[in-house]
Structure 1
Amino acid sequence: MLTLVLIVSMTSYLINAGADQTRAASAPVSTPTASPSPSPRFDPDAGAALPQNRVVAFYAVPGASVTGPAHELTDAMLTRLKQQAAVYQQLDPAHPVLAGIDLVVSVPDRRPGPAGTYSHRVDAATINTYVEFCRKHNLLLFLDLNFGWSDPVAELNFFRPYLKLPFVHVAVDPEWMFPRHNGVPGVNLSNVRASDLNPLISAVAQMPAEYQVPRKIFMIHQYRPDGDDLANPYNPGAAIIADKKNLLNDSRVDLVIHVDSVGGWPGDIEVKTEQYTKWVAQGMQRFQNFKYGGFKIFYQLESKHKLMTPEQVMALQPAPMVITYGY
């Protein structure tokens, strides 16, 4: 907006007492001056994946063929991903589908390793290959952190350079997370608390303003029940998230509770549907600290009995906004 400042300077008439001629100086022409234009206000809603869109992603640990279809980057994988996304697009045209990859970059281990963290990181060259693949093909990329004994915030910060990119988001899997060093991934069951997850949620919530990128998704995989109604919510055998009610509610990040339990036997669809109802739908209503549900299908493991169809996934209430496929 231009602010016009009119400056009028008038010279005095000088009259010579003995002369009949006056000299008058005319006023100078006013010149508008422009104040600096304010910078456009940053809007993290602009370009945010949720809630306008739905996400369909392929899961994988790089190079591990048993984990999911995105274990290697091929034209065939990309075609299959786009075809799967198109099915959901057809079922709900009101929500354009964004295809993506859920990539485990912090991998849990049964051995402590050199750092003593019971985890290792995927090498930078491999991650960069996935980043460029997603950039080229307009895919979202979830950096999936499994932690082991690693300090959660330090692990997130290690991958922070990638999170400056607008299409990169975060997923965490508490099943492999032992912040109190009280178990071994793949050997013991884990139990995490909101206080373990909230610093991560808060850090990701600050990233849009910090990096001037759209609001990010923070996806929490849930494999086993909540502990909110248990006498001992910290029992790993009974609950994976001790106190979901205490998860941070921050509007600057899109928190997704993602059901990723595994079927593959008669009655599994009914069980997974009930889990979604309890862990997502009821939790959403009770705690009011997350707005979106997610759901995972395992192509190979669950097809041993009967693979849940996209129509059945979309019949879940509320319909999942992030749907992933593994093996």
Structure 2
Amino acid sequence: MIKRSLLKAAPVLFFFLVLYSSCNFSNGQAAIDSAEADSLSRLDSIEKAKEEAILNNPFVDSNLYRSQVLALANGDTTGKWPVKNQPIPLAGAILPAKRIIAYYGNLYSTRMGILGEHPPELMLEHLDAEIKKWNEADSTTEAIPALHYIAVVAQGSEGKDGKYRNRMPDSQIDSVLSIAKMRNALVFLDIQVALSTIEDELPRLEKYLKLPHVHLGIDPEFSMKDGSKPGKKIGSFNASDINFATEYLQKLVQDNNLPPKVLVVHRFTQGMVKNYSDIKLRPEVQFVMDMDGWGPPELKKGTYRHFIHKEPVEFTGFKLFYKNDIKNPPNRMLTPEELLKLKPIPIYIQYQ
């Protein structure tokens, strides 16, 4: 009887079993979906925490940075390189992880450098070729493009205010920014103060320097502190002039939450930069002393040894001239492979 009753009840029991199983499966699937959602939520929280940690830790990896700086010293045994007490820069610093390859000049002149010598498309093709050479010569440090534009130009005539300098109009600076955008390139705005001062010229460029990819160059050669006309003799900057620029950039970075700015200072004589040891380094500013002289290879390397290597500040640069370096045959331009043998290795390369 019991067995027969069970047989008669089997269809009903099967129905309820299927229904029960279906409910359990749905509940189980819901539980899985809920668990996955919780897991994804936790992952999102972890990623957000990582992002917040990065934001709250505004400095680059100190160990990696020091190893890269040590590599730039290239085995120097004088004790000058790498620079002692070099600050760890803020996150977003370009140097020394990247090598900057810059084209220098002014859009109004075909004689002031390669930047203004050719139409933009052709000029950028030449820059691409140099970038390729550097990346082939040193695969450990990516070469990136930059346009180094003379935004304040020293001139032979005194002008309306007697300062012997010509400020480029915003329209020209805007054109350089547009050209740079074609290659996602950095932009450097260079100042030749003549009889003016860094204090008077730098603030005019502030709206451009607030852009993350725009950096600064200043040229002691045309800083005529004795009132001489620019070009008649070689001018100079004191450490105090340079410190004004770095402090100005520091505040700009802090106030606008920007990555560090690169400051390039040109040099090819002892007297162009006075009291170099008083130059203040800051985490917000990466300082480059750029060897700016032209001539045959051995003369240029000697200038680098005497005025760049012997008076260390932070990073170094090297300028190459397409015309002046080869002016007197058999003179020639130095190659990337040769420059990579220097002590320290330049991390900023400029072509004029």
Instruction: Give me the TM-score of the superposition, normalised by structure 2.
Output: 0.72
Structure 1 segments unaligned to the other structure (5+ residues) = 1-36, 226-238, 285-289
Distance 2:105 2:57 in 1: 34
Residue 58 of structure 2: aligned partner: 43
2:268, 2:303 within 8 Å by CA — same for their partners in 1?
A: no
Alignment of 1:96-135 (within 5 A): 96-135=142-181
Does 1:269 pair with 2:297? yes
RMSD value, Cα: 1.8
1:59, 1:324 within 8 Å by CA — same for their partners in 2?
A: yes
Distance 2:174 2:56 in 1: 31
Residue 296 of structure 1: aligned partner: 319
Per the TM alignment, residue 50 of structure 1 is displaced from its structure 2 partner at its CA by: 0.9
Per the TM alignment, residue 104 of structure 1 is displaced from its structure 2 partner at its CA by: 0.3
Does 1:188 pair with 2:214? no
Residue 251 of structure 1: aligned partner: 283
2:260, 2:283 within 8 Å by CA — same for their partners in 1?
A: no
- The letter of the residue matching 1:194 is A
Per the TM alignment, residue 193 of structure 1 is displaced from its structure 2 partner at its CA by: 1.4
Q: Percent of pairs identical after alignment?
A: 25
Greater gyration radius: 2
Q: Which has the higher helix share?
A: 2
- The letter of the residue matching 2:303 is Q
Residue 334 of structure 2: aligned partner: 308
Distance 1:101 1:151 in 2: 23
2:120, 2:179 within 8 Å by CA — same for their partners in 1?
A: no
Per the TM alignment, residue 175 of structure 1 is displaced from its structure 2 partner at its CA by: 0.2
Alignment of 1:14-33 (within 5 A): none
Alignment of 1:17-96 (within 5 A): 40-41=55-56, 43=58, 45-71=90-116, 72-96=118-142
Residue 236 of structure 1: aligned partner: none
Alignment of 1:140-179 (within 5 A): 140-178=186-224
- The letter of the residue matching 2:305 is T
Alignment size in residue pairs: 267
Distance 1:63 1:145 in 2: 16
- Worse-matched range after superposition: 310-319 or 97-106: 310-319
Provide Cα deviations, 1:24-52, integer angstroms capped at 9, x if missing partner: xxxxxxxxxxxxx9894373633321121
Per the TM alignment, residue 191 of structure 1 is displaced from its structure 2 partner at its CA by: 2.9
1:42, 1:209 within 8 Å by CA — same for their partners in 2?
A: no
- Worse-matched range after superposition: 165-174 or 189-198: 189-198
- Does the residue aligned with 1:67 lie in a helix, a strand or coil? coil
Distance 1:125 1:202 in 2: 28
